[in-house]
Amino acid sequence: MNVSDVISITRPTPATIDSDVDMSDDESTQVKLSIVTPGEMVTDDPVWMKGHGTYFLEDKTYSSVAGNISRVNRLLSVIPLKGRYQPETGDHIIGRITEVGNKRWKVDIGCKQDAILMLGSVNLPGGVLRRKSESDELQMRNFLKEGDLLNAEVQTIFNNGIASLHTRSLKYGKLRNGIFLRVPSNLIVKSKNHSYDLPGNVSVILGINGYIWLSKTTNSSHNKNMTVNSNANKINASGDPSYVPGAGSVAITRLEEESSWEIYSDKNDPNITNSVRSNITRYNNVIKALAYGDLGITEQRIIMGYEASMAFSNVGSMIDKDAMESICQDVINNEKMRG
Amino acid sequence: MILSPAERSYLYDSLIQKPTIRPDSRAEHQMRPLEAKTSFLPGSNGSARIRLMDGSECIVSVKAKVVVAAKEANLIECDVDVVGFRDNSNFVSNLKFNLTNLLQQNFPSDYLRLTSKYSFKLFIDCIVISHSSYPLTLISLTSYLALKTTKLPLLVSETNDEEIAELPTFSDDWDNAKPIADYFKGKGKEFQPPIFITLGYVGSNLIFDPSVEEEQVLENGLIVTFYNNKVITPIANMNLAVNSNNSNFKGLNQTAIIKSIQMGNKFGGAIIRALDALIEQDDDNDAIF
Amino acid sequence: MSERRRLLGPANTFIPNIGITSTTEEAVKTRKRDEIRKFFLKTGLIENANGSAYLEADGTIVQVLVFGPRPIRGSFIERASFSVECKFLPHIAQPNEGIFNTGSNNNNGNYRTGLTNIEQKISSYIETSLLPSIILEKYPKSTIDVFITVISSDSIEDHGGKTTNSGLLNLVNWVLNCSSVALADSGIELKDIVSSGVVRLDKEGIVLDPQETGGEGIDGLVSFMNLRNDEIVGFWMEGDEDLEEKDVERIIDGCNTMSKKIRANINSYLLEQAS
C-alpha cells in the first residue's frame, strides 16, 4: 500500500520574497498609481474627492487600506486587495439564512453585515399576483429557515451599508441537489451571467460574494429555451421537483405555474447518479485548486481545470498541494495557448 | 456551522454510497493533506506545527524538567488550549482528558528515568490556533512530531545515586543532547508515540478524518488509538459534531467497531511512516511559516 | 442556583451511631465472575425535578435529576437541545484525579469554578450515549438537562501498581444506568431505555462488573439500546494489553449480557412502579 494513498504531509514552502521593491519615494507624482498601504499618502491635491478606503487629514488624502487606487472622475478610492465582499446592486449572490425575523430574513452573504431579505421580495406559493397576508408572516419558517441556502440578487444597498436582496425571478431561490463551497470573493469575476451548465451534467452558480453552489443539472434547465409545455411540466413537477435555481429566465406564465410549494422544498432529486456525484466532487476540487492558485474563477477556467483533472484517475489525490499547483499550471498554459 | 436540509441530505446520500463519495473525493481511508514543521521553537526541548489546507493549525511544545520520580503521579503532563474556548469548557476538557489518557496508557514513561531517584517529566503544551473539524487527530499527530523530535540534555553524572545523594548534572553542550528515541534504543525498543485516528460512521461506511461538513451528517464517531503498529486502547465513540443538532446521530453496531479496528490496523502504519519521513526530511532551511 | 451556606452546629456535638460498616470486601470475594453486584434503585425522590433516580451499588452512590423539556428563549431550534452535567460531591475522590485533574483551571482553593476534566469526560460519555435514545424532534425550542451527582464512589484505581481506568469505567456504567432510569421517570419520549455493562477481559476470560484489583487486562464499557437490535450507543475501551478483534467481540458480548440483566431489573422496577 502506498503511503500517499492515506496521507500526504509536506513541509512549508519558503515564501519567495521579492527584493526588487522600489523603495524610493517619488513625491512629484500627483496621484501615485499602483498599490498603496494604510497610512500612505495618496495625494496632496485637495481637488480629489475622497472615496472608500481613504481618509483626509490636513488637505492630504491617505489610504486606509492596502490595495489598488481607483479613480472615477474626481472620486478617489482605494480598492482593498483582500477583504470582505462589498455588495453592489445587481450582484448575483448566494447566501445562507441566519435568522428569521419580523417580515424579513437575515442572510449571511459574507459581507460585514448580514443582508436582509424582505418577505415582500420573495415569490410565494400561489403566483406573483398573490397578496401577502398575515398568515404568510406566521409561516415564514416554512418558506426559508435558518441554515437554508439560496441564490438571490442584491436589490439595493441601504445607507448603513446593509444589502437588501430579492428572489423575484425563477433563477433565484432555494438551492438543492448539490454542495456548497466558498472561495475569496475577489476571485469571482463579475460577468453578465453567473450560473453555468458544465460538462458532466453539473451546474454551477458562482456567487459574486465568493459563495459557490455545485449541483446536478436538472432537466428543466436543458429545456430552458424550448417552448414550455405546461402539461408536461406539471407531470414533471409531481414526480421530481423540476424547479432549478439558475435555470435562466422563464415566461411569466410559467413562473406562476411553478411558484408552488415546490420552490421551497427541502427534498433533493431522488435520482442523482453516482457519476454526477463524483463529477460534482471533481469540480469541487478543481475550484478549490483554482482558489489555491489565486486564479480568478470563470466558467472557462473551471472547464479547463476539469479537463486537466482528467489526468488524475483518483480524484482524491487532487487535494494535495502539488496536484493543485499542477492543475493551475495546466489552466494557465492552456490559456496562453489560446491567447 | 449549519447546513441546510437539502445540503445535509445530499451529503448524507453521497457518503452512504458504496464506495463512499466524499465532498473532496477522498477515499474512505484518506486523511486530509498536512503541512508540518518540527523543531522550530528554540526554547523548547521539542516542538512541531501542523497546518491543514482549510487553515486549521496546531502547535505543540514539549518541555522537560527534572523531578523526583517518587513524588509525581505521572511523568507526562498535557495541557490543551483551544482558541475561542474556555479552558474548563467541555470541549477543551475532553481533548485534554483524551490526550492525557492516551499518553498515560501508552507512553512508556519508565524510559524517562534518569537515576534511581530522579526522572525527566515532560510537559506537553498544545495550542490549537484554528480548527474546523474535531481537532483531536490534529493535536495527536502534532504531539507525535513534537515528541519524536524532542531532545533531552546528556546526563553526565552517575546514574546510580542510591548511596550518594547527588543532583543530576547535564552536559552544557546542546549538541550533545539526545533525542528521546535514543533513550529507547539503548533499551532495545523503537520509540513511537501513540496517535489517535478519528473515524466517522455513516451508513455502514467508515471514513477517516471527517471534515467539518461530514461531521454534521455522521451517524456516530469513533476514536481509535494506534501504537506500535497496531490499534490499541483507548477506543471510544463520540459525537464529533460538537454543539450541533445532528439528527442523523444514532448507535453503532459491532461490525462497525471491528471494522474501525481493522481499518486502523491497515492504514495507521502509513500515517506513522509519513510522519517519520517528514522528520527525516525536515531541516533548518525551511521557512517556518 | 443560589449558594447555600450551612450554619455550623454547636461545639459539643457527638456523631450519631447510624449506619453499618461496609461489607464490600466480603461481597466482592464471594461474587462469581459472571455475577453482577446487587444494586438498589429508586425513582422520583426529588419532587422539584421532572424526573429523578437514585442508585446504590455497594459503595457507588449516584443521583440523577432530569429537568425538561423546558422552553428556551432566543433563536428557534427544531429539536430539543440536550445537555448533561456530572458532578462529584466536593470531597469525593475522583478516579485517577492525580493524573487527569491537573492544571489550575478547575481547582481554586476550596471551591471550584467549573467541572473537572474527569467530570467533563463522564458528562460527554453520558450525553453521547443517551442522545440517540431521546426523541428530540418532539420538543422543538426546548432544552432537556440532566444533572448527575456522584455521592460516593468506591472505584479502585490501582491494578497491581499500574494505574488503569477500570474504576472510572465501572463508575460510569452505574452513572449511565441511573441516568437512563431518571430519563424514563421524567416521561420524556424515548426510543428505548439505554442500559450498559462493564467487563474486564483478563487471562482467564470475562469478568462482569469487575471490582477486584490486580492483573493485566482490557476493560470495556459498552452501552446498548437492547430493544432496538442491541444498537451500541456508547463504547469505551481501556487497558494495556494487545488488542485482538476477537477480544473486542468478547467484550461487547460480555457487556451485552450484563446490560440485558440490568435492563431486565430496570424494566421490572418500572413496571412495579406503574402498577
Q: Give the C-alpha separation, A110 to A96, whole Å.
A: 9
Q: What are phi and psi of C155, to 5 degrees?
A: -65, 145
Q: Which amino acid is it at C135?
A: I
Tell me whether residues B7 and A149 touch, CB distance under 8 A.
yes
Residue C23 lies in a domain: no
User: B273 to chain A: which residues are within 8 Å by CB?
Assistant: 3
Q: Which three cell numbers stand for residue B264?
A: 486502523
* C139-152 tens-digit pLDDT: 999 999 999 999 99
Q: Mean pLDDT over residues C80-87, rounded?
A: 93
B259: number of Cβ within 10 Å: 18
Beta strands in chain A (DSSP E): 9-10, 35-36, 41-43, 49-50, 54-57, 60-63, 67-72, 75-80, 92-100, 104-108, 115-118, 149-157, 163-166, 173-174, 178-182, 195-198, 202-206, 211-216
CATH hierarchy code of domain A35-80: 2.40.50.100
Note whether B25 contacts A7, CB cutoff 8 Å.
no
Higher pLDDT, B279 or B246: B279
* Cβ neighbours of C76 in A, within 8 Å: 100, 141, 145-146
User: Nearest C-alpha of chain C: how many angstroms from A162?
Assistant: 21
Query: With an 8 Å Cβ cutoff, are A141 and C76 in contact?
Result: yes
Between B and C, how many residue pairs show a Cβ–Cβ distance under 8 A?
Answer: 127
Q: Is the pLDDT of residue B284 over 70?
A: no
Across the interface, do C252 and B247 touch by the CB < 8 Å criterion?
no
Q: Which residues of A touch B25 (CB under 8 A)?
A: 278, 281-282, 284-285, 314-316, 318-319
Q: In this structure, are residues B46 and B150 in contact, taking their beta carbons and an 8 Å threshold? A: yes
pLDDT classification of C122: cutoffs 50, 70, 90: very high
pLDDT at residue number A233: 42
pLDDT of residue B186: 67
Q: Which three cell numbers stand for residue B70?
A: 517518587
A6, A141, A145, A279, best to mutate vs chain B, most B CBs in 10 Å: A6
pLDDT, position A237 = 42
Range of the domain at C161: 40-274
Question: Would you say residue B285 has pLDDT above 70?
Answer: no
Q: Which amino acid is at A194?
A: H
pLDDT tier at B262 (50, 70, 90 boundaries)? very high
Instruction: Answer yes or no: are the C-beta atoms of B223 and B238 closer than 8 Å.
Output: yes
Total residue length of chain B: 289
ipTM of the prediction greater than 0.90, yes or no: yes
Here the cell at position C106 is 478547575
Residue B188 is predicted with a pLDDT of: 66
Residue C155 lies in a domain: yes
User: pLDDT by residue (tens digit) across C55-77?
Assistant: 999 889 999 999 989 999 887 88
Q: What is the pLDDT of residue A232?
A: 40
B272 CB-near residues (< 8 Å, 6+ apart): B144, B192, B195, B226, B229
Please tell me what DSSP assigns to residue A4. H
Q: What is chain C's percent helix, strand, coil content, to nearest 5?
A: 30, 30, 40
* CA–CA min distance C160, chain B (Å): 15
- Report the percent of chain B where pLDDT is more than 70: 93
Q: For residues C205 and C227, give the distance between their C-alpha atoms in angstroms, rounded to a whole number.
A: 27
Measured in angstroms, the CA of A138 and the nearest CA of chain C are apart by 14
pLDDT of A51 higher than 90: no
DSSP symbol at A51: -
CB contact under 8 A, C99 and B90: no
- Give chain C positions within 8 Å (CB) of A148: none
Residue ranges of domains in chain B: 1-30+194-284, 33-189
pLDDT higher than threshold 90 for residue A302:
yes
DSSP string, A118-141: EGGGS--TT-TTPPP-HHHHHTHH
Flag if B101 and C165 touch (Cβ within 8 Å): yes
CB contact B70 to A (< 8 Å): no
Instruction: Decide if C231 and B258 are in contact by the 8 Å CB cutoff.
Output: no
Q: What is the DSSP letter of A38?
A: T
Query: Is the residue at C4 inside a domain?
Result: no
**Cis geometry, peptide bond prior to residue B193 (ω within 30 degrees of 0):** no
Report the chain C residue with the minimal C-alpha distance to residue B235: C237
Residues from chain A contacting residue B33 (CB–CB below 8 Å) = 7-10, 319-321
A193, amino acid identity: N
pLDDT at C249: 93
- Domain layout of chain A by residue ranges: 35-80, 83-175, 176-220+271-338
Please name the member of C132, C237, C245 whose beta carbon is closest to the beta carbon of B233: C237
Provide the CATH number for the domain around residue C157: 3.30.230.70
The angle, 0 to 180 degrees and rounded to 10, between the axes of the packed helices A321-338 and A299-309 is 120
Strands of the B205-208 sheet, one edge to the other: B205-208, B195-202, B220-227, B230-238, C231-239, C218-225, C194-202, C205-208
B36 touches chain A (CB under 8 A): yes
Give me chain C's average pLDDT, please.
Answer: 85
Q: Quote the pLDDT of residue B136.
A: 95
Most A CBs within 10 Å, among C77, C78, C79, to test the A interface: C78
Cis check for the bond before C10: say yes or no (omega within 30 of 0): no
Q: How far is CA B225 from the centre of its chain?
A: 9
CA pair distance B250, C137, nearest whole angstrom: 14
* Omega cis (within 30) before B234: yes
Q: B242 CA to chain C: closest CA distance, Å?
A: 10
- B residues 193..252 contacting A (CB < 8 A): 208, 213
Q: Is the pLDDT of residue C258 over 50?
A: yes
Cβ separation of A12 and B281 shorter than 8 Å? no
Find the angle CA(B127)-CA(B133)-CA(B135) to the nearest 5 degrees: 30
| H or E element that contains C108 | strand C107-108
Q: How do residues A203-237 score in pLDDT, each as one tens digit? A: 999 999 999 999 999 865 444 443 334 444 444 44
Whether residue C105 has pLDDT greater than 80 = no
Distance CA(C272)–CA(C275), nearest Å, equals: 5
Map grid coordinates 463551497 to a residue.
A181
Domain B33-189 fold: Ribosomal Protein S5; domain 2 (3.30.230)
Q: Give yes or no for a contact between C198 and C255, defined as CB atoms under 8 angstroms apart.
A: yes
pLDDT at site A22: 45
Please tell me the distance from the alpha carbon of residue C13 to that of residue C127, in angstroms, as a whole number: 43
Pick the CATH number of B1-30+194-284 from 3.30.56.10, 1.10.3720.10, 3.30.230.70, 3.40.630.10: 3.30.230.70
- The alpha-carbon gap from C32 to the nearest alpha carbon of chain B, in Å, equals 26
Nearest-CA distance from C144 to chain A in Å?
Answer: 22
Give the pLDDT of residue A225: 40
pLDDT at B103 over 60: yes
User: Does the beta-carbon distance from B9 to A146 stay under 8 Å?
Assistant: no
Is residue C253 packed enough to be buried (19+ CB in 10 Å), middle (13-18) or exposed (0-12)?
Answer: middle
Residues of chain B with Cβ-Cβ distance to A180 below 8 Å are 7
- Give the residue from C143, C237, C240 with the most B CB atoms within 10 Å of its CB, the best one to mutate: C237
Percent of chain B with pLDDT over 90: 56
pLDDT-wise least confident of B229-233, C132-136, C237-241:
C237-241
Is residue C27 included in any domain, yes or no?
Answer: no
pLDDT of residue C47 exceeding 70, the answer is yes
Has residue C88 been placed in a domain? Answer: yes
A83-175, CATH topology level: OB fold (Dihydrolipoamide Acetyltransferase, E2P) (2.40.50)
Across A15-24, C100-109, C217-226, least confident range: A15-24
Please tell me the distance in Å from B276's CA to the nearest CA on chain A: 10
Angle between helices C117-130 and C166-186 (to 10 degrees): 50
How many domains, chain C?
1
Using alpha carbons, list the distances in angstroms from residue C143 to C70, C72, C131, C148: 5, 6, 13, 16
Search chain C and give the residue with CA nearest B108. C240
pLDDT at C160 over 60: no
What's the pLDDT tens digit per position in B139-190? 999 999 999 999 998 888 877 766 666 788 888 888 888 888 887 776 667 7
Residue C51 is predicted with a pLDDT of 94
A4 vs B contacts (CB less than 8 Å):
274
Question: Which subunits have 3 or more CB–CB pairs within 8 Å of chain C?
Answer: A, B
What band does C22 get if pLDDT is binned at 50, 70 and 90? low
Cβ–Cβ gap B33/A284 under 8 Å? no
pLDDT, one tens digit per residue, over B186-235 is 666 778 899 999 999 999 899 999 999 999 999 999 999 999 888 988 99
Q: Does residue C74 belong to the interface with chain A, where contact is any CB pair within 8 Å?
A: no
Which tens digits make up the pLDDT trace of B75-94? Answer: 889 999 999 999 889 999 99
- Strands across the sheet with B118-130, in order? A9-10, B34-38, B46-52, B57-68, B118-130, B76-82
